[in-house]
Amino acid sequence: MKICASSRLWKGLNIVLQLEAFEGELEQLRKIKAIIRHNVLAEKLADIYFICGETGSKDTNGLPENILVCPAYGVDWFQVYKRTERSHGPEY
């Protein structure tokens, strides 16, 4: 019985580890999709904004003080977004 219980535990642990790996891969794929959409496809499709530059010093997270956002490929202007000290996300 110990072998069977141990075997089931090992299989269960293996499934959990695989799920965690898949979740990590899914998160990475979502980031890549956003990069492709807003960087690579921006010049091919209209109405897709993309970050076209940055200015100012970077904070401890590596984020610049300002980012420059172009509303669509080919336009000759951009919008400046300023970093604030507010953040959104889970509080730990």
Residues 6+ apart with CB under 8 A from 69: 49, 50, 51, 52, 78, 79, 80, 81
Q: Are residues 19 and 59 in the same domain?
A: no
Confidence (pLDDT) at 83 = 92
With cut-offs at 50, 70 and 90, classify the pLDDT of residue 31. Answer: confident
Number of Cβ atoms within 10 Å of the Cβ of 61? 7
Same domain, 54 and 86: yes
pTM of the model: 0.51
Q: Which domain holds residue 78?
A: 49-92
Number of domains forming the structure of the chain: 2
Q: Are residues 58 and 91 in the same domain?
A: yes
